[in-house]
Amino acid sequence: MTNPLPTGATIGILGGGQLGRMLSVAAARLGLRSHIYEPGANPPAADVAHATTTAPYDDAAALTAFARSVDLVTYEFENIPTEALDIIEAITPIHPNRRALGTSQDRLVEKNFLQGIGLNVAPFADITDAASLDAAITTIGTPAILKTRRFGYDGKGQARLKSPQDAATALADMAGAPAILEGFVSFTAEISIIAARNPQGEVACYDPGENIHRDGILHTTTVPAKIPARLRTDAVLLAAKILNTLDYVGVMGVELFVTPQGLIVNEIAPRVHNSGHWTQNGCAVDQFEQHIRAIAGWPLGDGSRHSDVTMENLIGKDMDKVPALAREANCALHLYGKVETKAGRKMGHVNRIT
Amino acid sequence: MTNPLPTGATIGILGGGQLGRMLSVAAARLGLRSHIYEPGANPPAADVAHATTTAPYDDAAALTAFARSVDLVTYEFENIPTEALDIIEAITPIHPNRRALGTSQDRLVEKNFLQGIGLNVAPFADITDAASLDAAITTIGTPAILKTRRFGYDGKGQARLKSPQDAATALADMAGAPAILEGFVSFTAEISIIAARNPQGEVACYDPGENIHRDGILHTTTVPAKIPARLRTDAVLLAAKILNTLDYVGVMGVELFVTPQGLIVNEIAPRVHNSGHWTQNGCAVDQFEQHIRAIAGWPLGDGSRHSDVTMENLIGKDMDKVPALAREANCALHLYGKVETKAGRKMGHVNRIT
């Protein structure tokens, strides 16, 4: 059993974006330091980190020095090269573990895993070429979505098939990358549950939030989600099953479709999740601190909520709304310090206490 | 009129303790960077700052470089040498202003200021020698407290006089420093009000909290204070009067005695204040962000509270309670990352949402 990390210990974080930034602040709140590893210059997380390494993920010397300078390593995104993880793991523990990472890095592996532990997922098929796509369309039908198995996020690496005639175009969009075809799920709502597990095996969940997407990017999360108590229980139980099966340590975001037949797991993210940002202003222990508590072997917060919250992402030109948002009562601003505003770029979010 | 500081601008903070640390996190939340100036090595604030300068307050070159690297300067404590401020102010603005700092640095100046704007203070007298002390005891009576005019905090630089016979011992305790004698105030409660003012002249206050001290150090602050609505209004009005008179920009902590004759101002602190830490878990905009908003020329949060809170300081060996506190529901931990625990040292605090 891991001893809890003491005051002054250092957590290494792979990735210096907004998630790394908010993890770093949470670590500080527990008296811990953070060391950011990020290839890009001036990452948002560096503004609130004890130390920052600027180096690519194929720099073995930098990775080695980084791993030696910290007590354990975590990450803010799942697409970390395997070789980098191998170098780090030879020196210091990585949480969440490699199995969780490997599972979530590949949509086919993930779907097989979820189905294998008895959870419902959308109908899916492994697509390697035009013939396997044609066969899958026959089984699954259209509408459907073709998705790359790896490196997809915020709607990237996806092509919709309205009818079988779209097959060739959709396959071309994959640019030869391995893919899966997913059947269309007719859902009444999309929710997510943020769950955590520590090395002692304690599991804690926040109440599910209801998500609205725009252009494939999360727009708002409203907590609590308007779902029957029965489905809340289902969400907690299935999240716990995923975490326990993976011997998971850390916070996980689990995206779910609400359908007349019950919950269908859309995808899992082995990290703090955009749909959990509401916890910063709704709970005594937010998802970022919960993740740090879990990986540091501390007791978990119980996930209880003192306030209902709607989180809204500030994307690209939404930053123009900041002066008005700063005047709004019960509206908590969380800006990421990104100097350059780009279309589709997550610049910050607000939590409205309702 | 000052333009609001934009994303990526840098706030210089004099002092790298826990207040500088929490100010730095708040600045980051608004997309701003912080640069800490602190003579001591490894200051708590450096863990969450964009940059840190380690240099004494008489290092003109370091102060100059610091002032040139930031957009404005603020501070976490009031006992900054005048010469250091002169160097900085020749280069960049300091908020809160020099008048506020000068007033609060000297108990005699402070008392005269407060009385001069019509507020009630404890009876006081300027003490320069044994003769002036004897005369003051005759007028003010005993019990009374002899306090150094400058550099006192957390009960340091104070001597109690139970009777006129204690005069010589008390005066010796001052070690020749200029002092004031303060008459004893019979109060039913001690409260404080955290108020803010921005360059546009907007003023916002949080609801007063009730303070309990132990050994001269703040132990708990409970919000709301159990006082009549009339006194809450009085507290807000007098705080606004202080801030407006000083043309103040930033957050101020105002300590008040509740007496049968109304409120008596104990002292003012031209900075974020320990008795305002509860706002971190009670409000959408906490006192640290409020201070940054004020000095950065942003709109102020309105001070509204979503939850009642009791703040408890973790001092010295109180750190032994952290494992139990981490298991307590609705208890938010705020540790300062100080590796060495010392008796009387503020190591962290908890906010219990009630």
Give the span between the Cα atoms of A12 and A51, in whole angstroms: 9
Q: What is the DSSP letter of A299?
A: P
Q: Are A65 and A87 in contact (CB under 8 A)?
A: no
**Is residue A298 within 8 angstroms of chain B, CB to CB?**
yes
Q: What 3-state DSSP class applies to A184?
A: coil
Q: Which of B106, B173, B174, B179 is nearest to B136 (CA)?
A: B179
pLDDT for B139 equals 96
Look-up of token digits 């001690």: B190
Q: Residue B67: enclosing H or E segment and its boundaries?
A: helix B60-69
B150 contacts B178 by C-beta, under 8 angstroms: yes
**Pairs of residues, one from chain A and one from chain B, whose beta carbons lie less than 8 Å apart:** 110
Which tokens is B322 given? 């952290």
Q: How much is the pLDDT for B1?
A: 40
Give the whole-number percent of chain A exceeding pLDDT 90: 94
Record: contact B28-A48, CB cut-off 8 A:
yes
My answer on whether omega of the bond before A96 falls inside 30° of 0, hence cis, is: yes
* Cα B209 to Cα B204: distance, rounded to the nearest angstrom: 15
Cα separation, A294 vs A248, whole angstroms:
10
What 8-state DSSP symbol labels residue A30? B
Which candidate, A190, A299, A300, A309, places its Cα nearest to that of A253?
Answer: A190
The CA distance from A144 to A118, in Å, is: 23
Query: What pLDDT shows up at residue A216?
Result: 86
Percent of residues in chain A assigned helix, strand, coil, to nearest 5: 35, 30, 40
DSSP string over A111-132: HHHHHHTT--B--EEEE-SHHH
Contacts of residue A206, defined as CB under 8 A and 6 or more positions apart, other chains included, come to: A193, A194, A195, A223, A276, A279, A283, A287, A303, A305
3-state secondary structure of B23: helix
Q: What is the DSSP letter of B104?
A: H
A351 neighbourhood in chain B, CB within 8 Å: 284
**Whole-angstrom Cα distance, residue A219 to residue A233?**
25
String of DSSP letters for A305-343: -SS-EEEEEEEGGGGGGHHHHTTSTTEEEEE---SS--T
CATH number for the domain formed by residue range(s) B189-353: 3.30.470.20
pLDDT tens digits along A287-313: 999 999 999 999 999 999 999 999 999
Where does residue B202 rank: exposed (0-12), middle (13-18), buried (19+ CB within 10 A)? middle
Asked if residues B335 and A31 have their Cβ atoms less than 8 Å apart, the reply is: yes
The shortest CB-CB distance from B302 to any of A8, A29, A329 is to A329
pLDDT tens-digit readout, A112-123: 999 999 999 999
How far is the C-alpha of A170 from the C-alpha of A224, rounded, in Å? 37
Indicate yes or no: CB of A33 within 8 angstroms of CB of B337. Answer: yes
- A183 forms bridges with which residues in the sheet? A144
Q: Is the peptide bond before B96 cis (omega within 30 degrees of 0)?
A: yes
Chain B residues with CB under 8 Å of A299 CB are: 323, 326-327
- Give the separation between CA A295 and CA A302, rounded to whole angstroms: 16
Interface touch B323/A293, C-beta < 8 Å:
no
CA distance A11 to A18: 16
What topology does CATH give the domain A10-94?
Answer: Rossmann fold (3.40.50)
Q: Amino acid identity, residue B346?
A: K
Quick one: pLDDT at residue B152? 66
Provide DSSP, B148-207. ESSS--TTTTEEEESSGGGHHHHHHHTTT--EEEEE----SEEEEEEEEE-TT--EEEPP
3-state secondary structure of A63: helix
Residues 6+ apart with CB under 8 A from A150: A79, A105, A106, A107, A177, A178
Pick the CATH number of A123-183 from 3.30.9.10, 3.40.50.1980, 3.90.220.20, 3.30.1490.20: 3.30.1490.20
d(CA A91, CA A71) in angstroms, rounded, equals 10
Q: What is the least distance, in Å, from the CA of A33 to any CA of chain B?
A: 6
**A326 close to B (CB below 8 A):** yes
Give me the half-sphere count of Cα atoms (radius 13 Å) on the Cβ side of residue B80.
Answer: 32
Inter-chain touch B335–A49, beta carbons under 8 Å: no
Phi-psi region of B118 (alpha: psi -120 to 50; beta: other; left: phi over 0): left
Q: Does residue A46 belong to the interface with chain B, where contact is any CB pair within 8 Å? A: yes
Q: At B68, is the secondary structure helix, strand, or coil? A: helix
| Report field, pTM of the whole predicted structure over 0.90 | yes
**ipTM for the whole complex:** 0.94
Q: What was the pLDDT predicted at A1?
A: 40
Q: Please identify every stretch of chain B with a pLDDT value under 70, giving residue numbers as ranges.
A: 1-2, 152-155
- Residue with token string 């001092």: B315
Q: B162 CB near a chain A CB, below 8 Å?
A: no
* Residue B136: closest CA among B170, B185, B181, B184: B181
What are the sequence ranges of the domains in chain A?
10-94, 123-183, 189-353
Cβ atoms of B62 and B53 closer than 8 Å: yes
pLDDT digits (tens, 9 = 90+) for A258-290: 999 999 999 999 999 999 999 999 999 999 999
DSSP code per residue over A227-277: --HHHHHHHHHHHHHHHHHTT--EEEEEEEEEETTEEEEEEEESS--GGGT
B226-254 as b/e: b if 16+ CB within 10 A: ebeeebbebbbebbbebbebbebbbbbbb
CB contact A332 to B (< 8 Å): yes
Q: Which residues of A touch B28 (CB under 8 A)?
A: 21, 25, 47-48, 337
The answer to whether the CB of B261 falls within 8 A of the CB of B213 is no
Average confidence (pLDDT) over A32-36: 98
Encode pLDDT of A160-210 as tens digits.
999 999 999 999 999 889 999 999 999 999 999 999 999 999 999 999 999
**DSSP string over B275-341:** GGTTHHHH-SS-HHHHHHHHHTTPPPP----SS-EEEEEEEGGGGGGHHHHHTSTTEEEEE---SS-
DSSP string for residues in A64-75: HHHHHTSSEEEE
